[in-house]
Structure formats: C-alpha cells, structure tokens
C-alpha cells in the first residue's frame, strides 16, 4: 500500500462501518428472503421420513449460510480493492477470507493507513457467523424436537 492510498482513522472507521453494515444487510436479507421458501419446503417434506426431512432442511440452511458468507467475503475483497488497499483480486480475496473467518494467518498484513479498516472484516465475520449459528441452531431445534433416539 502506498502513502497516497492510506486512509485517516476517521475514514477507516467510516468505511469499515459502512461495509460491515452492507454485509449485515446481505446476511439478514438472505435469511429473511429465503425463510418463507424454507418454510414451504419443510411443509412439503413433512410427509417424508424424519431423517430425510432433517437432512434436506439442514442442508438447505447450510447452503443458504454458505452463499451469504461467500458473498460477504467478496464484498470485503472488493471494498479492500476500492479503498486502494490491494490491487490484486486474488490477494484481496485471500486476505478477506482469512480475516472474515478470523483465521488471520498473518502472512499478509495491512499498513497503518488500513489496519482499522481491515479489522472490520473480522468484526463482520464474527457477527454474521454468530447470526448463522443462531439460525442453524433454531432450525435444528425445529427439526429435532424429540430426543434423537426417537428418530429411527
């Protein structure tokens, strides 16, 4: 990153918050939009074996969450490129993914003019992964209301 591309602290806070908000909106909108379709699918699957129903519904929920998180990683990669932090898409995607998932290998680090901004990708990941976990736990709670031993 060059000096010309460095952001002030206020710019990093503003743009980091803006892109975090975009990711939160994507995540909540995806769940909100597809929930009625998942409810219809569940109604259709009620006449099938409980294991089949549980598998299809859990798989559908997982796919929905995976698509949401993938879109959000792409948003962060593009944000890092738009803000001049990276010029290479591969590097931007890699950094976004390891930061979003909080793996943070540390092989790529940001300069002082983008550190705070980049950290928002990690905050975005933590928050949306939390929402995803809550969604999947609620979904599984509806699918498996009885003890697992009753599902034969």
For the chain, give every domain's residue range.
3-144
Q: What is the pLDDT of residue 144?
A: 75
Q: What is the pLDDT of residue 73?
A: 98
pTM of the model: 0.86
Q: What is the pLDDT of residue 151?
A: 58
The CATH architecture assigned to 3-144 reads: Orthogonal Bundle (1.10)
Q: Which residues of the chain have pLDDT under 50?
A: 1-4
What confidence tens digit (pLDDT) does each residue in 28-45 have? 999 999 999 999 998 899
Residue holding tokens 């929905």? Answer: 64
Question: 56-94: b or e for each residue (b if 16 or more CB lie within 10 Å)?
Answer: bbeebbeebbeebbeebbbbbbbbbbebebbeeeeebbb
């Amino acid at each position: 990153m060059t000096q010309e591309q460095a952001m002030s602290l206020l710019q990093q806070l503003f743009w980091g918050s803006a892109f975090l908000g975009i990711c939160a909106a994507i995540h909540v909108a995806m769940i909100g939009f597809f929930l009625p379709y998942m409810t219809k699918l569940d109604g259709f699957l009620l006449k099938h074996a409980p294991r089949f129903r549980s598998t299809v519904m859990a798989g559908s929920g997982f796919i929905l969450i995976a698509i949401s998180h993938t879109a959000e990683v792409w948003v962060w990669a593009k944000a890092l490129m738009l803000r001049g932090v990276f010029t290479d898409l591969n590097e931007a995607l890699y950094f976004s993914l390891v930061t979003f998932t909080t793996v943070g290998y540390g092989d790529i680090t940001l300069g002082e003019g983008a550190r705070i901004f980049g950290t928002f990708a990690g905050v975005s990941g933590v928050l949306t992964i939390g929402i995803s976990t809550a969604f999947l736990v609620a979904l599984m709670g509806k699918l498996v209301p009885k003890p697992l031993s009753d599902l034969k």
